[in-house]
């Protein structure tokens, strides 16, 4: 039931783009994305509820393909502040999130 | 809105002792969640409440774990007879609809 994230880790130079993928073996009600910096709590980025939905948050956006049970998080023109671990979380119904293992993103100056 | 508050921030306990953690959610949020996170892993679901009702408890959760949310406000998570494997960060989150707001967590170390 745990969603699978890929890649496990990414190293970028400032200004480069990244894509993080999340896939589930079950039909999904929603997909959440969170970012966690070392020693801090996860911070909510966005939630996607409908198939084919795309949302944006500054230079961070995401898509949700309901038929494929997949979501992708897009980070464009990455900034140093984007460093951290990104988690996708999936809901099969409107109850609780199950989180993936995370994708560690490191931005180099 | 002061966010989600968790106490204590850190707890060191001897194996076999009982510990209790407290979570104060955002006041207008009706849902409250407990998760556990170990190094390098994503948060693992433990249990959640809608108002004062505990709606689900993870099947992976030992009977040593119990949670309450009296009157639908703050919540407590108790671990009885702690074991070294219980060492982790315990995160509380609350929501009304949509995204979760997490507290800073309680780091438990069992020695």
| Strand ranges inside B1-111, DSSP E | 5-7, 10-13, 19-24, 31-37, 44-50, 53-57, 65-68, 75-79, 88-95, 101-102, 106-110
Q: Which residues of B touch A87 (CB under 8 A)?
A: 42-43
| Residues B73, B15: Cα–Cα separation, whole Å | 30
Model pLDDT, residue A51: 60
Q: Identify the pLDDT of residue A108.
A: 95
Count CB pairs under 8 A between chains A and B.
Answer: 47
Specify the long-range contacts of residues B37-41, CB closer than 8 Å, at least 24 apart: B37/B88, B37/B89, B37/B90, B37/B91, B37/B105, B38/B87, B38/B88, B38/B89, B40/A101, B40/A102, B41/A101, B41/A102
Asked whether the beta carbons of residue A42 and residue B55 sit closer than 8 angstroms, the reply is no
Give DSSP secondary structure letters for chain A: ---EEE-SEEEEETT--EEEEEE-SS--SEEEEEEE-TTS--EEEEEE-STTEEEEETTEEEEEETTTTEEEEEE-S--GGG-EEEEEEEESSSS--EE---EEEEEE-
pLDDT at A107: 96
pLDDT at A1: 85
How high is the pLDDT of residue A62?
93
What does the pLDDT look like over B56-104, one tens digit per residue? Answer: 999 878 899 999 998 889 999 999 999 999 999 999 999 998 899 999 9
Determine the pLDDT at residue B1.
56
pLDDT at A93: 86
**Alpha-carbon gap: A97 to the closest alpha carbon of chain B (Å):** 7
* CB-CB under 8 Å, A98 with B41: no
DSSP B60: T
For chain A, 109 residues long, the average pLDDT of each consecutive 10-residue run is 96 96 93 95 90 71 91 94 96 92 96
Q: Render pLDDT for B49-58 as a digit per residue (tens, 0 to 9).
A: 999 999 999 9
Q: What is the pLDDT of residue B56?
A: 92
Q: Sorting pLDDT into bands at 50, 70 and 90, what band is B2?
A: confident
B98 contacts chain A (CB < 8 A): yes
CB distance B45–A101 less than 8 Å? Answer: no
pLDDT of residue B71: 86
Determine the distance from the C-alpha atom of residue A28 to the mean position of all C-alpha atoms in its chain, rounded to a whole number.
15
pLDDT (0 to 100) of residue A43 = 96
């Amino acid at each position: 039931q745990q969603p699978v994230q890929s890649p496990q880790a990414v190293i970028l130079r400032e200004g480069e783009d990244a894509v993080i993928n999340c896939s589930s073996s079950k039909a999904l009600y929603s997909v959440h994305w969170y970012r966690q910096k070392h020693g801090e709590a996860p911070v909510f980025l966005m939630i996607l509820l409908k198939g084919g939905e795309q949302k944006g948050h500054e230079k961070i956006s995401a898509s949700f393909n309901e038929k494929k049970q997949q979501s992708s998080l897009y980070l464009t023109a990455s900034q140093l502040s984007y460093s951290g671990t990104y988690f996708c979380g999936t809901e099969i119904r409107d109850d609780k999130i199950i989180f993936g293992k995370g994708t560690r993103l490191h931005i180099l100056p | 809105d002061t966010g989600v508050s968790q106490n204590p921030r850190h707890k060191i306990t001897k194996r076999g002792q009982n510990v209790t953690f407290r979570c104060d959610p955002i006041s207008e949020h009706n849902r409250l969640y407990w998760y556990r996170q170990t190094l390098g892993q994503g948060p693992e679901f433990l249990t959640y409440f809608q108002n004062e009702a505990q709606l689900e408890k993870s099947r992976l959760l030992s009977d040593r774990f119990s949670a309450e949310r009296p009157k639908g406000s703050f919540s407590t998570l108790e671990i009885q007879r702690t074991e070294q494997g219980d060492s982790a960060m315990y995160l509380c989150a609350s929501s009304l609809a949509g995204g979760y707001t997490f507290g800073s967590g309680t780091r438990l170390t069992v020695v």
